[in-house]
């Protein structure tokens, strides 16, 4: 007997004021065990403001499961310096009741497409903890290549052992430049 599973239909939408609840829902010991543990309410409020302000290149998104339209997680990419080079870094989080369905992988693929459209950096990296099997699997399934183990600081002041994953998003089609936040609505391929 074989079981076929369809890829989830996922869309990522720009972060809004209404998305603060997603940060609170994901701020549990189980969801943050590879990220240094839960944040304080003040830290969550500051993160929310940073996501809304959209400083620099990159974008934060809510992950929407279709056709229901339920917001089930977060994802995004941002500029960072890695080994002396300006690169994009990506991250994602899917609420526990929606995990194990391929949603994070679909969202990661959509973030690769969004980074491609932004087009300011040649590479997109992800740095999941070596102990985070699920996020490392997302990287592999989404097309990132494993570079190796490294040490990264997250949260600030706390070093973790991570896997460095990297993808070089294909160039955007000729004539397509960075999109405004209002125009960014990506569906997973």
Q: What is the mean pLDDT of the chain?
A: 87
Owner of token pair 């102990």: 131
State yes or no: pLDDT of 17 exceeds 60.
Answer: yes
In the chain, what percentage of residues exceed pLDDT 70? 85
Tell me what pLDDT residue 184 has. Answer: 40
Angstrom distance (rounded) from CA 104 to CA 102: 6
Owner of token pair 């070596």: 130
Q: Residue 170: which pLDDT band, with cuts at 50, 70 and 90?
A: low
Are the beta carbons of 152 and 127 closer than 8 angstroms? yes
Angstrom distance (rounded) from CA 125 to CA 138: 13
Integer distance in angstroms from the first to the last C-alpha of the chain? 28
Owner of token pair 């960072």: 80
- How far, CA to CA in Å, does 26 sit from each of 85, 95, 130? 31, 6, 20
Tell me what pLDDT residue 175 has. Answer: 40
Angstrom distance (rounded) from CA 96 to CA 60: 20
The separation between CA 165 and the C-alpha centre of its own chain, rounded to angstroms, equals 13
* ∠ Cα 148 171 135 (to 5°): 35
In the chain, what percentage of residues exceed pLDDT 90? 73
Name residue 129's beta-bridge partners.
162
Angstrom distance (rounded) from CA 151 to CA 157: 12
Mean pLDDT of 75-83: 95
pLDDT digits (tens, 9 = 90+) for 107-156: 999 999 999 998 889 999 999 999 999 999 999 999 999 999 999 998 88
State yes or no: pLDDT of 179 exceeds 60.
Answer: no
């Amino acid at each position: 007997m074989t079981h076929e599973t369809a890829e989830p239909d996922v869309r990522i939408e720009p972060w809004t004021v209404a998305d603060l609840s997603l940060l609170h829902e994901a701020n549990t010991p189980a969801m943050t065990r590879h990220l240094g543990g839960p944040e304080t309410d003040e830290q969550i409020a500051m993160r929310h403001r940073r996501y809304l302000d959209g400083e620099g290149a990159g974008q934060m998104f809510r992950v929407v499961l279709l056709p229901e339209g339920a917001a089930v997680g977060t994802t995004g990419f941002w500029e960072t310096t890695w080994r002396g080079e300006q690169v994009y870094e990506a991250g994602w989080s899917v609420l526990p009741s929606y995990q194990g369905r391929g949603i994070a992988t679909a969202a990661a693929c959509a973030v690769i497409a969004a980074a491609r459209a932004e087009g300011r950096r040649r590479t997109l990296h992800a740095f999941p903890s070596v102990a985070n099997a699920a996020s490392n699997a997302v990287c592999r399934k989404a097309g990132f290549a494993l570079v190796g183990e490294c040490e990264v600081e997250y949260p600030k002041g706390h070093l973790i052992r991570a896997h460095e994953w990297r993808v070089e998003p294909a160039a955007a089609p000729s004539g397509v430049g960075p999109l405004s936040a209002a125009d960014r609505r990506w569906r997973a391929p």
